[in-house]
Amino acid sequence: MQGEFDLTEMPSRTEMEKAFFERDSGYDGVFFVGVTTTGIFCKPSCPANKPLEKNIEYYGSAREALFAGFRPCKRCKPLSAGIEVPEWAGRIFDRVDAEPESRIRDRDLREMDIDPVMARRWFKRNYGMTFQAYVRARRLGHAFEAIKQGSPLDDAILGHGWESFSGFREAFARQFGSTPGKAADADFIRLGWIETPIGPMIAGAMEAGLCLLEFTDRRMLEAQFETLRSRFGMALIPTECPLFDRLRKELAEYFAGERKTFTVPLVMKGSEFQEKTWRGLLELPYGRTKSYAELARDIGADNASRAVGHANGLNRIAILVPCHRVITADGELGGYGGGLWRKKALLELERGERRFAG
């Protein structure tokens, strides 16, 4: 996986592999290593035993590793790589480690004699994310582990930092509204992990088709989980299904520049106006862009460009429902829930200006 803004900034995989297995501290902060069998990420110089290369993923920043579902190694402390960590920040890390599923709000920081504004700025400057984004990444990490594991779930519980099956099930139920391994007799939403060249994604599918495809670091992800539960009245269960294999294949072809349209069936459920907007997005041709006002006219909603923009932002199926093809009237990128750097990369890909490995 590449860096957040410069998709070519990381060393080659061969160079990173050599640095990691030789424990070369000169690369600390240049890249980070996620170990899939343990769910942790480390500095290249980590003194722990080295895993098999097939169980390693490389990341350009701690932020990327966190939102890929890895938690920081307690031995090498990768969040300290090249950074002087003040005493108050150390207390924050200890608090989050002790309560990874908790929401730590500004008032909680004040009770710790920590200025929330200072915390936001320090985390943003050093890790490219605010303190709340860091807490959200750690909170989602447990859910991401379950989603990446797929089925069966119980085999991974104790090997991923859980002290008991009951603790895992309780946390799982809070996140997904169900217990692991218990699928209702009726349909349910299957959650799967999708790797892409511009970051990992979470996919959701029911029997009828795909209903979710979001980047793991999107701020609205937890809200999207809740929206899915309420809109469809279904539990969310991490498990694999054939549709995810089909989705991975078509996305790989898309990023290799070999696919312009997708055949994965979609389930888009929202308000009447939202669904009309999303259907309009599906009509936007590959490699072309339209303004919000033009899209509004196309769907018969003249003078409703602001409402179209809002519905566009609530799209739950990134890339396949191409909200990235909508720009502002003056030709600027506008907004994008997955980050403007991703929107730029997708548009460059579709214009033939960028290619990713197939």
Going by C-alpha positions, the residue among 276, 320, 269, 322 that lies closest to residue 296 is: 276
d(CA 34, CA 162): 18
**In one letter, which amino acid is 294?**
E
**What SS3 class is residue 182?**
coil
Q: What stretch of H or E contains 152?
A: none
DSSP 196-255: -TT--EEEEEETTEEEEEEETT-TTHHHHHHHHHHHH---EEE---HHHHHHHHHHHHHH
Catalytic member of 46, 73, 76, 323? 323
Backbone angles phi, psi at 128, to 5 degrees: 70, 20
Greatest alpha-carbon pair distance for the chain in Å reads 62
> What DSSP designation does 49 have?
P
* Phi-psi label, residue 319: left if phi above 0, alpha if psi -120 to 50, beta otherwise: left
At a CB cut-off of 8 Å and minimum separation 6, what does 305 contact?
Answer: 291, 292, 293, 295, 296
d(CA 17, CA 13): 6
User: Cβ-count burial of 258 within 10 angstroms (0-12 exposed, 13-18 middle, 19+ buried)?
Assistant: exposed
Distances (CA, A) of 99 to 92, 96, 114: 11, 5, 17
- Cβ distance 250 to 213 under 8 Å? no
Going by C-alpha positions, the residue among 151, 181, 243 that lies closest to residue 206 is: 243
In sequence order, the β-bridge partners of residue 206 are 209
Q: For residue 241, indicate whether it is catalytic.
A: no
**What SS3 class is residue 302?**
coil
Q: Which residues are catalytic?
A: 323
